[in-house]
Structure 1
Amino acid sequence: MSNQDLSIAAKLINGGVAGLVGVTCVFPIDLAKTRLQNQHGKDMYKGMIDCLMKTARAEGFLGMYRGAAVNLTLVTPEKAIKLAANDFFRQLLMEDGMQRNLKMEMLAGCGAGMCQVVVTCPMEMLKIQLQDAGRLAAPHQSSTSAPSSSRSYTTGSASTHKRPSATLIAWELLRTQGLAGLYKGLGATLLRDIPFSIIYFPMFANLNNLGVHELTGKASFAHSFMSGCIAGSLAAVAVTPLDGKYGRI
C-alpha cells in the first residue's frame, strides 16, 4: 500500500471516528435545533434549554437521542465520501493537491459537498422525521383530537404520533413515493452542504497550515482541533438559514 493510499485510508478512518464521536456528543443539540425550526410559530419551546428539558421530562433521557441511530449508521459513509471527494478534487485541480490556491480549494469543497448529498439527503430526511416525532406526538398525548397541522410533513400516509422507526419511515417513503421520496429536499440539501464545504475545507486547510512546524511538516493536534472548530463553526453559522429551510420541507 502506498503512502498516499495509507494517508487516504487514515483520513477516512479518522473522519468516521470523528463523525461517530461528534454525533454522540452533540446530537441532543441537533434535536433541539430541529424541533425549534419546526415549531411553525406555535412556541412549544422557548429555546434550546427549554426544549431539551421538556424532551427529557416527556420522553426520558434517550428521547434526546431520538433518530441518533440513523446518523450513527450513515455518518461514516457520509464523512468518507466527503473527505475522499475533497481529496480527489484537490488532486485533480491542483498539482499534488498541496499548493495554496483558494479558488481551486473552494471548487474542491464544492465537489465534495455535491457528492456527500448521496448519503446526507436520506440521512437527514429520516433523522428529522424521528427527531420531530416527540414534538408531533405531544398534541396527541394531551388531546385525542389533534389539529391536522401537527401531522408529519414528509411521509404522506405514515402516522407519526406513534413512535416510528427509520425502517418504517423509509419503507413508507419507498412504497408511496419511490426512491425520490428519500431524496425529497435534495435542492435545499445541496444549497446547504455545498456552501458549507466551500467554506469549511479551504478555511480549515489555511488555518491548519498556519500551525505547521518546519521540522515535522505537520500542525499539532491542538492546532488542528481548533482550526476544525473555527472552520466548522463559521461554516455552520453561514448555512443555518438554508438548514432551517431544509427542516421545513
Structure 2
Amino acid sequence: MADKQISLPAKLINGGIAGLIGVTCVFPIDLAKTRLQNQQNGQRMYSSMSDCLIKTIRSEGYFGMYRGAAVNLTLVTPEKAIKLAANDFFRHQLSKDGQKLTLPKEMLAGCGAGTCQVIVTTPMEMLKIQLQDAGRIAAQKKILATQLSAQASAPTSVEAPAASRPTATQLTRDLLRNRGIAGLYKGLGATLLRDVPFSIVYFPLFANLDQLGRSASEEKSPFYVSFLAGCVAGSAAAVAVNPCDVVKTRLQSLQRGINEDTYSGFLDCARKIWQHEGPSAFLKGAYCRALVIAPLFGIAQVVYFLGIAESLLQLLQEPQA
C-alpha cells in the first residue's frame, strides 16, 4: 500500500511543533554535550554530564543551561520540518509503484532528508555552539586567573577576565561582516558527514521498528509505539555518528580555551584528536547525545504521526456558524 498523502503545510507544522517541544525538554543535556566534546586533555572542566550541569547552574544560574536555546527554538521549526517532510517526500517518490519500500530505498530517502536539512542545521549549530561554550571558556579563564593570583609573590590580585556574553544577533552580524555567508556555514562538510549517515540509519530503523508494533488492521501504530521507535532509532543513530559530531563541534567552535588545539579542517581535527586524546575522545558526549536525540525524535514522531497539524488545519477550514 502506498503511503498516505499528507499535505506539505501539515508536515511543516507538525515538524515545527515537535521541534519546539523536544528542544525545550532536552536543551540542558545538549549544552552539556557541547561542553564535554569541546574540552581537551589537560583542560578538563567537567568530569560528566551531571558535573557539567551542576557547575553551570552554580556559575551561570538556572538559565545558564539554556544559553543558545533561542537560536534552536527559532531555527528548529524549519530544520525539523525540512528533515521530516523531505523524508516523507522521498519515501513517497520512491514508492510510486505501490510496493513496500526496500531497505536501500529507505536509506536513500533518509540520505535525501539529511542532505536537505543542513541548509538550516549548519548555521543553527554554528551559532548555538558559540553560545553554549562561552560559559566553559569564561570559567576556564577565571580558574587560570585565580591560579595566577595564588602564585603571584606580590599581594596584588590578578583579576579574572570579564566573561563575554555574546548574543546570536551579534555573532551573526560579526560572522557575516568578517567572513560573509560562508562564516555561518563553517563546518558544512562535517555537518553533512554527521547528518546524512544519521538519517540513513534513523529513518529506516524507525520505519521498521514502528511497523513491528502495527497490526494488520491498523493504518498507523499506537502513539507509544511511535514514541519508543523514535527513541530507540534516534539514540542508536546518534551514537553511531558521534565521532563526526565531535569533529563538527570542534570545527565550529570559534573560541578556544587555554592551550587548546586549533584545526584547519575535518581530517586535521580528526588526526589531532586521535593523536592527542586517543580514540575514546570520539565518544565524548555520546551518552548525552543519545539522551538528547531519543526523546527529541520520540516526541517528533508522536506529534508527526498523531497528525496534530491536520486537526488544526481542519478546524481553521471549517465554515464559521
Q: TM-score, normalised by structure 2?
A: 0.69
16-25 or 71-80, which moves further after superposition? Answer: 16-25
Gapped regions of structure 1 (runs ≥ 5): 148-158
Deviation at 1:238, TM superposition (A): 0.4
Corresponding residue for 1:12? 12
Pair member with larger Rg: 2
CA separation of 1:146 and 1:96: change in aligned 2, threshold 3 A: farther
The one-letter code of the counterpart of 1:23 is V
8 Å Cα contact 2:14-2:81 kept in structure 1: no
**Aligned runs of 1:234-245 on 2, under 5 Å?**
234-245=236-247
8 Å Cα contact 2:94-2:101 kept in structure 1: no
Looking at structure 2, the residues matched to 32 and 215 of structure 1 have their Cα atoms a distance apart, in angstroms, of: 44
Matched, 1:109 2:99: no
Per-residue Cα deviation, 1:130-180 (whole angstroms, up to 9, x for no partner) = 000101111344455999xxxxxxxxxxx9941000010011000000000
Corresponding residue for 1:155? none
Corresponding residue for 2:279? none
Deviation at 1:11, TM superposition (A): 3.3
Corresponding residue for 1:192? 194
Per-residue Cα deviation, 1:191-246 (whole angstroms, up to 9, x for no partner) = 00000000111111111111223333211001111111110010001011110101
Corresponding residue for 1:87? 88
Corresponding residue for 1:131? 132
CA RMSD between the two structures: 2.2
Q: Secondary structure at the match of 2:5?
A: helix
Structure 1 stretches (4+) deviating beyond 4 angstroms?
Answer: 142-147
**Aligned runs of 1:1-40 on 2, under 5 Å?**
4-6=5-7, 8-40=8-40
Match of 1:225 among 204, 224, 227: 227
Looking at structure 1, the residues matched to 57 and 233 of structure 2 have their Cα atoms a distance apart, in angstroms, of: 31
Per-residue Cα deviation, 1:103-153 (whole angstroms, up to 9, x for no partner) = 011011001100000000000000000000101111344455999xxxxxx
Aligned residues: 235
Relative contact order: is structure 1 or structure 2 higher (C-alpha 8 Å, sep ≥ 6)?
A: 2
Gapped regions of structure 2 (runs ≥ 5): 149-160, 252-321
CA separation of 1:27 and 1:97: change in aligned 2, threshold 3 A: farther
8 Å Cα contact 1:87-1:97 kept in structure 2: no
CA separation of 1:73 and 1:160: change in aligned 2, threshold 3 A: farther
Corresponding residue for 2:306? none
8 Å Cα contact 1:133-1:160 kept in structure 2: no
8 Å Cα contact 1:136-1:160 kept in structure 2: no
Looking at structure 2, the residues matched to 13 and 213 of structure 1 have their Cα atoms a distance apart, in angstroms, of: 28
CA separation of 1:214 and 1:72: change in aligned 2, threshold 3 A: same
Corresponding residue for 1:68? 69
The one-letter code of the counterpart of 1:31 is L
Deviation at 1:22, TM superposition (A): 1.1
The one-letter code of the counterpart of 1:60 is G
Looking at structure 2, the residues matched to 116 and 96 of structure 1 have their Cα atoms a distance apart, in angstroms, of: 27
Looking at structure 2, the residues matched to 53 and 145 of structure 1 have their Cα atoms a distance apart, in angstroms, of: 20
Looking at structure 2, the residues matched to 188 and 146 of structure 1 have their Cα atoms a distance apart, in angstroms, of: 36
8 Å Cα contact 1:36-1:48 kept in structure 2: yes
Identical-pair percentage: 66
Looking at structure 1, the residues matched to 14 and 130 of structure 2 have their Cα atoms a distance apart, in angstroms, of: 28
Looking at structure 2, the residues matched to 97 and 57 of structure 1 have their Cα atoms a distance apart, in angstroms, of: 57
8 Å Cα contact 1:27-1:65 kept in structure 2: yes
Looking at structure 1, the residues matched to 25 and 15 of structure 2 have their Cα atoms a distance apart, in angstroms, of: 15
Looking at structure 1, the residues matched to 212 and 141 of structure 2 have their Cα atoms a distance apart, in angstroms, of: 55
Looking at structure 2, the residues matched to 97 and 243 of structure 1 have their Cα atoms a distance apart, in angstroms, of: 37
172-181 or 12-21, which moves further after superposition? Answer: 12-21
8 Å Cα contact 2:45-2:140 kept in structure 1: no
